[in-house]
Chain A
Amino acid sequence: MIGSPTQSGMALRVAGIGLLLLTWEFVGQSGVLGKLWPPLSVIVSYAMEPSSASILLRALHFTAVSAGSGLLIGSATGVVLALLGLLWPPLGQGLGRLAATVNAVPLIALGPVLIVTAGREATPIMIASITVFFGVFIAASTGLASVRREQADLLTVLGASRRNRLWLLQIPNALPMLVDGLKLSVTAAVVGAILGEWFGAPGGIGLILVSAMQNYQIPLLWSAALLGAMLSLVAYGFLGALQRWLEVRFR
């Protein structure tokens, strides 16, 4: 999933994943870790049952929409603020400190506050946005600032306006790094959305996790956890592919 897929590397990866799943199945079947660790086959067949599948799909949809909205809002905020910071450097420095401060606040502490202020529906999106914002802001600021001196000099001598410099040099130069930041943020967005749901959202994987835990529904708990992980991995893989393409195209 990461890096360049050579033939042998791919085979090794498939073998590694297969080994992990087999071990899981074996541990579950043998029961050495108790009832809380069911075999993979039991989880999968439970998740495939129509009644549980519809619950899980609805939850997946809810979480995916929250995480996706959070990703959009958080990254848009990050990019816009990074651009503003570039256009007005004193603002940029202040924004950098503000972003670091926001990132230092534990989200677990923000959750209840957001439930009260933003509401149960919006909390997952808000938490996902905040987690995404920091990574994207840092990646965009660094990318915009990392223009080589020779290229900057060239544009100066050619008489580039600030807008030209931004469009012709700084933005294309920042794209690979920005997508790198997005790639790392997308998993955080899923975790953030699930965390937000945990505090009492009306749906989503987080809600299922809480209720399945409290009601001792072990296969449901595992199915929801696996589904969350799969959502993260698929999004990460997609952005990883986009990043590899940009790497080749823009560097």
Chain B
Amino acid sequence: MASAYAGPVADTFTMARELSATISIRKVSKTFTVNGNAVIALDQVSVGVSDGEFLAIIGPSGCGKSTLVRMVAGLEPPSSGAVSIAGESPLVLAARHHIGFAMQDPALLPWLSVRSNVALPFRVAGKAVDWSAVDALIAMVGLTDFAAARPRQLSGGMRQRTSIARALVLEPSLLLLDEPFGALDAVTRRHLNLELQSLWSSHRLTTLLVTHSVEEAVFLADRVLVLSSHPGQVKLLRDVPFGRPRCAQTRRLPEFRLLVDELTECLDAEAGKVKDVIRP
């Protein structure tokens, strides 16, 4: 399995980032109406992400993490407050084809092969497909032998890996990852964490990652945002002090474990709060 992965795909990335992707999230609230009742998903969330920063967002289920990322992607407008990227609406960056996006649902097009699915962003952008970049990314996610396969022939994890490769293929200025590692087994997940980390260390693209794994958040991110639930508010914003590139040894540092424990406790306290709400 390990041999199926090529070396760091970083070498094949030219990545001349011409666009800044500083994210500003100011006093953003989002209210949904469920059965006639207004439910506050996000309440006055403010956070800034500087250009080239990696921010991980963790929080209990239903705290509005995905909603926050969807707003940065321009898929949902905030009920109040403002989200801007480099001072403009997220739609501007999207229209320039500078956002890489991978979510829990791989959203592959079933009539295209893995290779063509990964190449889709080129077609959407109206650019000639750079097949060497496509193939390098397919190798990075370990799907070289499946490049010609179609999505329904793949396992759930393979589909997610395809969608991760697709998110990176245009060398975006902003990478939005909404639990894209959810369906992966632990080994593949750690491997992709490492690859993403080394790719990211050399290119520093602004990244938002929603994850359930505290360890993954600490390993990958510059800062970790903990959201509370009902309503979703900023509970903690914590710097991750480790230098880059990080490697497998980083995970074994006592400071790493301490930080993971601290954030896990913070999360558990939130989960406990939810339980209290459910069972008064």
A151 at the interface (CB under 8 A from B): yes
> Could you tell me if A157 and B109 are in contact, using CB atoms closer than 8 angstroms?
no
Q: Which of B94, B109, B176 has the most CB of A within 10 A?
A: B109
Report Cα–Cα, A250/B98, bound state, in Å: 28
Question: B162-178 toward A: CB 8 Å interface, digit per residue (1/0)?
Answer: 00000000100000100
A159 at the interface (CB under 8 A from B): yes
Report Cα–Cα, A251/B101, bound state, in Å: 23
> Could you tell me if A251 and B110 are in contact, using CB atoms closer than 8 angstroms?
yes
> Could you tell me if B75 and A156 are in contact, using CB atoms closer than 8 angstroms?
yes
Which residues of chain A are within 8 angstroms of B74 by Cβ–Cβ distance? 156-157
Q: Which of B75, B99, B111, B176 has the most CB of A within 10 A?
A: B111
> Could you tell me if B125 and A150 are in contact, using CB atoms closer than 8 angstroms?
no
User: Closest CB of chain A to B158's CB: distance in Å?
Assistant: 17
> Could you tell me if A157 and B111 are in contact, using CB atoms closer than 8 angstroms?
no
The B80-119 residues at the A interface (CB cut-off 8 A) are 94-99, 101, 103, 105, 107, 109-111
User: Closest CB of chain A to B80's CB: distance in Å?
Assistant: 22
User: Closest CB of chain A to B3's CB: distance in Å?
Assistant: 31
User: Closest CB of chain B to A110's CB: distance in Å?
Assistant: 39
B186 at the interface (CB under 8 A from A): no
Report Cα–Cα, A154/B123, bound state, in Å: 13
Which residues of chain B are within 8 angstroms of A154 by Cβ–Cβ distance? 101, 107
Which residues of chain A are within 8 angstroms of B205 by Cβ–Cβ distance? none
Report Cα–Cα, A208/B98, bound state, in Å: 66
The one of A150, A159, A172, A249 that contacts B124, using a Cβ cutoff of 8 Å: A159
Question: A135-161 toward B: CB 8 Å interface, digit per residue (1/0)?
Answer: 000000000000010110111111111
A153-B75, A157-B73 given; A164·B124 CB < 8 A:
yes
> CB-nearest residue of chain A relative to B73?
A157
Which residues of chain A are within 8 angstroms of B125 by Cβ–Cβ distance? 158-159
A169 at the interface (CB under 8 A from B): yes
The one of A158, A164, A168, A249 that contacts B94, using a Cβ cutoff of 8 Å: A158
Which residues of chain B are within 8 angstroms of A250 by Cβ–Cβ distance? 110-111
Interface size on B, residues (CB 8 A): 26
User: Closest CB of chain B to A203's CB: distance in Å?
Assistant: 42
> Could you tell me if B124 and A153 are in contact, using CB atoms closer than 8 angstroms?
no
> Could you tell me if A157 and B107 are in contact, using CB atoms closer than 8 angstroms?
no
> CB-nearest residue of chain B relative to A160?
B124
User: Closest CB of chain A to B210's CB: distance in Å?
Assistant: 14
Which residues of chain B are within 8 angstroms of A151 by Cβ–Cβ distance? 107, 109
B42 at the interface (CB under 8 A from A): no
> Could you tell me if B109 and A156 are in contact, using CB atoms closer than 8 angstroms?
no
> Could you tell me if B120 and A158 are in contact, using CB atoms closer than 8 angstroms?
yes
User: Closest CB of chain B to A167's CB: distance in Å?
Assistant: 9
Which residues of chain B are within 8 angstroms of A156 by Cβ–Cβ distance? 73-75, 94
A150-B107, A154-B101, A168-B120 given; A159·B75 CB < 8 A:
no
> Could you tell me if B107 and A159 are in contact, using CB atoms closer than 8 angstroms?
no
Which residues of chain A are within 8 angstroms of B103 by Cβ–Cβ distance? 150, 153
Question: A117-148 toward B: CB 8 Å interface, digit per residue (1/0)?
Answer: 00000000000000000000000000000001
> Could you tell me if B97 and A169 are in contact, using CB atoms closer than 8 angstroms?
no
Report Cα–Cα, A250/B152, bound state, in Å: 10
User: Closest CB of chain A to B170's CB: distance in Å?
Assistant: 8
B126 at the interface (CB under 8 A from A): yes
A150-B103, A150-B105, A251-B110 given; A157·B120 CB < 8 A:
no
Report Cα–Cα, A160/B95, bound state, in Å: 7
> CB-nearest residue of chain A relative to B152?
A251
> Could you tell me if A159 and B109 are in contact, using CB atoms closer than 8 angstroms?
no
Report Cα–Cα, A159/B98, bound state, in Å: 8
B232 at the interface (CB under 8 A from A): no
The B119-156 residues at the A interface (CB cut-off 8 A) are 120-121, 123-126, 152
Report Cα–Cα, A89/B99, bound state, in Å: 28
A153-B75, A168-B124 given; A158·B110 CB < 8 A:
no
> Could you tell me if B176 and A157 are in contact, using CB atoms closer than 8 angstroms?
yes
User: Closest CB of chain B to A160's CB: distance in Å?
Assistant: 5
> CB-nearest residue of chain B relative to A153?
B75
- The 10 A-B pairs with the shortest beta carbon distances in the complex, nearest first, are A150-B107, A157-B101, A250-B111, A150-B105, A158-B124, A159-B94, A159-B97, A154-B107, A160-B124, A159-B95
16 residue pairs from A and B, CB less than 8 Å apart: A150-B105, A153-B70, A154-B107, A157-B73, A157-B74, A157-B75, A157-B94, A158-B99, A158-B170, A159-B95, A159-B124, A160-B124, A168-B120, A168-B124, A172-B109, A250-B110
Residues of B within 8 A of A (CB): 70, 73-75, 94-99, 101, 103, 105, 107, 109-111, 120-121, 123-126, 152, 170, 176
Known: A157-B101, A159-B96. 12 other contacts (CB 8 A): A148-B107, A150-B105, A151-B107, A154-B107, A155-B124, A156-B75, A156-B94, A157-B99, A158-B94, A172-B111, A249-B111, A250-B111
